[in-house]
Amino acid sequence: MKIVVCAKQVPDTTEVKLDPKTNTLIRDGVPSIINPDDKAGIEAALQLKEKVGGTVTVVSMGPPQADAALREALAMGCDEAILVTDRAFGGADTWATSSTIAAALKKLDYDVIITGRQAIDGDTAQVGPQIAEHLGIPQVSYAEEIVEAEEGKLVVKRQFEDRYHIIEVKTPCLITALAELATPRYMTVHGIFDAYREKEVKVWTLEELKDTVDMANIGLKGSPTNVKQSFTKQAKGKGLYYKDLSPEDAVETIVAKLEERHII
Amino acid sequence: MDFTLSKEHLLFRQMVREFVENEIKPVMQEMDETEEFPREIWEKLGPAGLLGIQYPKKYGGQGGDYLAYVIAIEEISKYCASITSGIAAHSSLATWPIYQFGTEEQKMRFLPELLSGRAWGAMGLTEPGAGSDAAMQQTKAYLDGDHYVVNGRKCFITNAGEAKYYTTVVMTDKTKGNKGMSILVIPADAPGFTIGKHEKKMGIRASATADLIFDNCIVPKENLIGREGDGFKMIMQTLDVGRLGVGAIGLGIAEGAIEETLKYVSQRKQFGKTIGSFQNTQFELADMKTRADSAQLIIYRAACTKDAGLPFGMYACMGKYYGATVGSDITRRCVQLFGGYGYMREYHVERMMRDAKIVEIYEGTSEVQKMVIAGHMKVGK
Amino acid sequence: MSKDVYVLAEQRDGELQKVGLELIGKATELAADLGQQVVAILLGSGIKDKAEILIQHGADKVVVVDDPMLAEYVTEPYAKALNEIIKKNDPEIVLFGATSIGRDLAPRVSARVHTGLTADCTKLDIGTIDSMPDTKLLLMTRPAFGGNIMATIVCKDHRPQMATVRPGVMKALAKDEARKGEVVDFKVDFTDADMNVKIREVVKGDSKAVDITEAKVLISGGRGIGSPDFFGKLQELADVLGGVVSASRAAVDAGWIEKDRQVGQTGKTVRPDLYMACGISGAIQHVAGMESAEYIVAININDTAPIFDVADLGIVGDVKAIVPKLTEAIAKRKAEKAAQ
């Protein structure tokens, strides 16, 4: 089974803080990580390979620094890594991103494509389904578990808010992974050293994709949506604040307020 | 000179940090309380590759280097020195003599198990009457046909009772003193081999420490490492290698304590402001950080020198000595900055201060390190 | 010429979902600004009778595709139906709920019709941008970067302008039974090939699953409650207030409580009447999910915890000491009131 995983390098947004004085983002020193849902996807791909055999190729679109994320994927056990990078791809919204990644995927042999459900820096959950549409293959998003796998067919547990579906899907297909799909393994130590000393990250620029990409659909110009403005949220004002109440007084204060607001 | 870590070492450190975050941090305090050897963590160290970092893949190792090894010890020691004490005993002391001096057959017999963590190792050197004076070994072994017969007792042995293989120093010819020492790999199930009672310790309480008792213990002669009589030479080299990791234990504890203290001083308020805003706190932490970084540079240099195949013995001693010194010094000062809370078990610095003390003692006391450094310097010669 | 504001009125087992009604409520404002109409799209099997409800909540027109193929949600048949509706009617705007259906379907459709899509919006307005002062555009505002910033997105040239909107953010209009509107049957020629996956099994409503977005009172626990056991105490407090227990990501990550209880950027957005944060420090990702609660009470031992910056009532203190006493006091107060 030829498995391709799409992974994105993202800033660890849980480490981002707001400067309380200027109300701007402090981005310095924020580590870059593999997007958590994508990492679950990598793990699912490795498990799938271990179960049915085959290869795992990891593809990432991003700036040259995304090399580090791909090395990490190699160190986890992926066989091949491809970095799709070009200034012409920059400034892309989800449409242009999915068009670019789909153009790269068209150059690969695949049975199953796995993407994370969504990335923590954008939280859109759009790129996976859009890739599937560009490639004309079925998608199963919100995958919580791969129940069965054999050549030509997967059975996936698909999560909804109020139910789940057990879905049978023929390959080629695209799965979007929830973090619950698989708990990522640690990189192996030898995998880490091999990732830098033995393996390579292939770099695909616009040149490599020229047969499969439509110039009208990439980068900032190929993006139907644009950011008009971005701003940090105005924090809600601080309300009442009591520092030195005994537990009894605290309870009394809370009860009084809840009564005032007719919650009790 | 390049003082930056390579990309692979940075990625390796990230992996170790993830391991620590998920596997060690949640249980480290409890391990200290219960004084139980954390088998479930040990069982994960092997598959993660953390028990064979610096050994070739051919023998089941990871093909990494000593710099990676000391980084791993340093990172894990920030949170748990019990585990790293065990790793150091396993990866350096028990395993390295087999790798360095064993025959190809012995390497293939022991290393894949040890390096993958399917078997754990320990070293038997210290005896009740032979501590810093390692030459005073009383444990004797004589050859009887196809096996050695071992009699004697080893004490304070890390991983005792948990290990499957005990790389043990024995006297095969008492009359020759240092030149009568040999090394045997004694399996846990060797007839006549028992483990003494578990020692109650001040710190590193979750590491297993006990006596090894040999009473007409039968060991196959194929388990002799190197030649009879070469034991002392081999053990001295082994200790050099071992010191690389042990220095990193002291360093890691110191760094862990600084990390905890930084968090605390920015929260704790006295006299209406955080204690971190007082100059004494700032000067203390600046001084500690400088010392810890100095120790790190010495230890990394020692590891890189070893990796380059150059003589590293003196550097390793310096790293062990100074790593141990900063470990004890910094944890004590961190407890002081915490005040009363620092003396309570709820905060980690209390445990760190207890754990740090042993680093000045085991694998050659600080005084022994200074003796060896002075020897390298040819002081008085 | 594109026109009208379309809303996918999501239904499950024939039950209209709240988010669809919320979106229709918002769409009436947008349509008024544009001088256009609100059109609800109702896809399903045997659901046509629900169209009236959509009109009563503000839709001017309802386009219904009633077909057995649409009985249970499957991406491709739904995408095909929507694509044909969009191709035929050329809407100005199409809105979806940011649910596990909307977030699966909308991107697939946007890729098919080649238009932009903005995910997880929390605010929608009609306005203009400097470069196109004469064109009324949909201004789609959404949190990004883990809730740290807000971004307003526009889709200038492609139509329809599409967005998914977080459930619970917009307000549904009160039902007006006198309201009249048009119901249009829309025929889609489905083939067997459209069912490109096979649903082997549908497992509904895990009874454990709790919908914290529906609760009026949420008692929420974080790492500061010290141990998973303390959630029992929070549950007792929730019980006397008729509420539900929720949690911060830290508590969920620690394995203390199920993920479906998580409030925040990677969990759920809630807007209860009362949100009580117990031992939650208030990381920005958490605040993003609860700040629009009507009344926020925070109890935390750390007097500088950021949660106090958004709390209407902040108490510095030990949750373990306060919560059990609070439960007792409220139970007593309620008993007194009942006796009156």
Model confidence at B113: pLDDT above 50: yes
Residue B345 binned pLDDT confidence (cut-offs 50, 70, 90): confident
Domain count for chain A: 1
Q: What is the pLDDT of residue C207?
A: 41
Q: Which domains are delineated in chain C?
A: 5-194 (3.40.50.620), 212-339 (3.40.50.1220)
Look at residue A76 and tell me if it is in a domain. Answer: yes
Digit-coded pLDDT (tens) for C134-175:
999 999 999 887 777 889 999 999 999 999 998 878 889 999
Does residue C275 contact residue C299 with C-beta atoms inside 8 Å?
no
Torsion of CA B83, B87, B93, B94, to 10 degrees: 110
Model confidence at A239: pLDDT above 90: no
Query: What is the mean pLDDT of the segment spanning C178-182?
Result: 94
Q: Helices B348-359 & B231-265, crossing angle to 10 degrees?
A: 160
Mean of the per-residue pLDDT values of chain B: 95
Separation in Å, CA of A150 to nearest CA in chain B: 27
Residue C278 to residue C230: CA distance in whole angstroms: 10
A236 in contact with C at a CB cutoff of 8 Å?
yes
Q: Which domains are delineated in chain B?
A: 7-116 (1.10.540.10), 121-229 (2.40.110.10), 233-376 (1.20.140.10)
Residue A229 to residue A207: CA distance in whole angstroms: 33
Look at residue A191 and tell me if it is in a domain. Answer: yes
Alpha helix stretches (DSSP H) within chain A: 36-52, 67-76, 94-105, 127-135, 189-197, 247-260
Instruction: Using the Cα atoms of residue A115, residue A121, residue A126 and residue A130 in order, give the sign of their dihedral.
Output: negative
User: In CATH, what number is assigned to the domain containing residue A148?
Assistant: 3.40.50.620
**By CA distance, what is C288's nearest residue in A?**
A233
* Listed range (A213-222, C2-11, C151-160, C248-257) with the worst mean pLDDT: C248-257
Digit-coded pLDDT (tens) for C209-219:
567 887 889 99
If DSSP codes are grouped into helix, strand and coil, which group holds residue C314? Answer: strand
Tell if the CB–CB gap between B8 and A187 is shorter than 8 Å: no
Mutate to test the interface with A, among B18, B62, B266 (most CBs of A within 10 A): B62
Residue A36: closest CA among A8, A76, A62 = A8
Look at residue A16 and tell me if it is in a domain. Answer: yes
Facing residue for C316 by CB, picked from A25, A242, A258: A242
Model confidence at A236: pLDDT above 90: no
C107 in contact with A at a CB cutoff of 8 Å?
yes
Facing residue for A161 by CB, picked from C100, C326, C337: C100
Tell if the CB–CB gap between A75 and B50 is shorter than 8 Å: no
Model confidence at C208: pLDDT above 50: no
Q: What is the pLDDT of residue C340?
A: 67
Tell if the CB–CB gap between C139 and A228 is shorter than 8 Å: yes
If DSSP codes are grouped into helix, strand and coil, which group holds residue B316? Answer: helix
- Chain A contact set for C147 (CB, 8 A): 13
User: In the block, which residue shows the tokens 């000393």?
Assistant: A197
Look at residue A256 and tell me if it is in a domain. Answer: no
A244 in contact with B at a CB cutoff of 8 Å?
no
Facing residue for B19 by CB, picked from A68, A72, A186: A186
Question: Quick one: residue C44, left, alpha or beta (phi over 0 = left, psi -120 to 50 = alpha)?
Answer: left
Facing residue for C314 by CB, picked from A122, A242, A258: A242
Backbone angles phi, psi at B268, to 5 degrees: -70, 130
- Domain containing residue A32: 2-217
Look at residue A263 and tell me if it is in a domain. Answer: no
Tell if the CB–CB gap between C198 and A123 is shorter than 8 Å: no
- Chain C contact set for A146 (CB, 8 A): none
Separation in Å, CA of A31 to nearest CA in chain C: 14
Mutate to test the interface with A, among C16, C72, C108 (most CBs of A within 10 A): C108
A80 in contact with B at a CB cutoff of 8 Å?
no
Is the bond preceding residue A172 a cis peptide, omega within 30 degrees?
Answer: yes
Q: Which chains neighbour B (Cβ–Cβ under 8 Å, 3 or more pairs)?
A: A
A257 in contact with C at a CB cutoff of 8 Å?
yes
Strand-by-strand arrangement of the C217-221 sheet: A240-242, C313-316, C295-300, C274-278, C217-221, C244-247
Q: What is the pLDDT of residue C114?
A: 96
Residue A43: closest CA among A78, A9, A80 = A78
Kindly state the tokens that stand for B163: 């290990």
Q: Which of 7-46 (C) contact A at CB < 8 A?
A: 12
Tell if the CB–CB gap between A187 and B19 is shorter than 8 Å: no
Write out the residues of chain B at the interface with chain A, using a CB-CB cutoff of 8 A.
Answer: 6-8, 11-12, 14-15, 18-19, 48-50, 52-53, 57, 61-64, 68
Facing residue for B49 by CB, picked from A71, A72, A189: A189
Model confidence at A157: pLDDT above 50: yes
Q: What is the pLDDT of residue A18?
A: 67
Q: What is the pLDDT of residue C148?
A: 73
Torsion of CA C195, C196, C198, C199, to 10 degrees: -70
Look at residue A89 and tell me if it is in a domain. Answer: yes
Tell if the CB–CB gap between A225 and C119 is shorter than 8 Å: no
Model confidence at B255: pLDDT above 90: yes
- Chain C contact set for A93 (CB, 8 A): 116
Digit-coded pLDDT (tens) for C244-291:
999 998 898 888 998 889 998 777 888 888 999 999 999 877 887 898
Facing residue for C201 by CB, picked from A140, A166, A264: A166
If DSSP codes are grouped into helix, strand and coil, which group holds residue B278? Answer: coil
C309 in contact with A at a CB cutoff of 8 Å?
yes
Backbone angles phi, psi at B208, to 5 degrees: -85, 125
Residue C340 to residue C338: CA distance in whole angstroms: 5
Digit-coded pLDDT (tens) for A191-211:
999 999 999 999 999 999 999
Tell if the CB–CB gap between A257 and C317 is shorter than 8 Å: no
Tell if the CB–CB gap between A129 and C111 is shorter than 8 Å: yes
Separation in Å, CA of A64 to nearest CA in chain C: 21
Residue B348: closest CA among B334, B364, B369 = B334
Digit-coded pLDDT (tens) for C95-106:
999 999 999 999
Does residue C27 contact residue C58 with C-beta atoms inside 8 Å?
yes
Size of interface A-C (CB pairs under 8 A): 256
Q: Which of 28-47 (A) contact C at CB < 8 A?
A: none
Digit-coded pLDDT (tens) for B207-227:
999 999 999 999 999 999 999
C48 in contact with A at a CB cutoff of 8 Å?
no
Residue type, A119: A
Query: What is the mean pLDDT of the segment spanning B243-260?
Result: 97
**By CA distance, what is B58's nearest residue in A?**
A190
Facing residue for A189 by CB, picked from B6, B18, B64: B64
Tell if the CB–CB gap between A223 and C116 is shorter than 8 Å: yes
Tell if the CB–CB gap between A264 and C333 is shorter than 8 Å: yes
- Chain C contact set for A238 (CB, 8 A): 308-311, 314
**By CA distance, what is C328's nearest residue in A?**
A251
Q: Which chains neighbour A (Cβ–Cβ under 8 Å, 3 or more pairs)?
A: B, C
Tell if the CB–CB gap between C274 and A240 is shorter than 8 Å: no
Model confidence at C113: pLDDT above 90: yes
Q: Which of 78-97 (A) contact C at CB < 8 A?
A: 93-95
**By CA distance, what is A180's nearest residue in C?**
C259
A258 in contact with C at a CB cutoff of 8 Å?
yes
Q: Which residue has the higher pLDDT, B1 or A70?
A: A70
C284 in contact with A at a CB cutoff of 8 Å?
yes
Residue A142 to residue A166: CA distance in whole angstroms: 12
DSSP code of residue C170: S
Residue A263 binned pLDDT confidence (cut-offs 50, 70, 90): confident
Query: What is the mean pLDDT of the segment spanning A69-88?
Result: 97
Residue C108: closest CA among A225, A131, B365 = A131
The residues of B annotated as belonging to the active site are 363
Separation in Å, CA of C138 to nearest CA in chain A: 11
- Chain A contact set for B14 (CB, 8 A): 72
Does residue A167 contact residue A158 with C-beta atoms inside 8 Å?
yes
- Find the radius of gyration of the CA atoms of chain C: 22
Size of interface A-B (CB pairs under 8 A): 53
A199 in contact with B at a CB cutoff of 8 Å?
no
Look at residue A226 and tell me if it is in a domain. Answer: no
Facing residue for A186 by CB, picked from B7, B15, B53: B15
**Predicted TM-score of the model (pTM):** 0.84
Burial of A73 per CB tally in 10 Å (0-12, 13-18, 19+):
buried
Model confidence at A235: pLDDT above 60: no
Q: Which residue has the higher pLDDT, C117 or B178?
A: C117
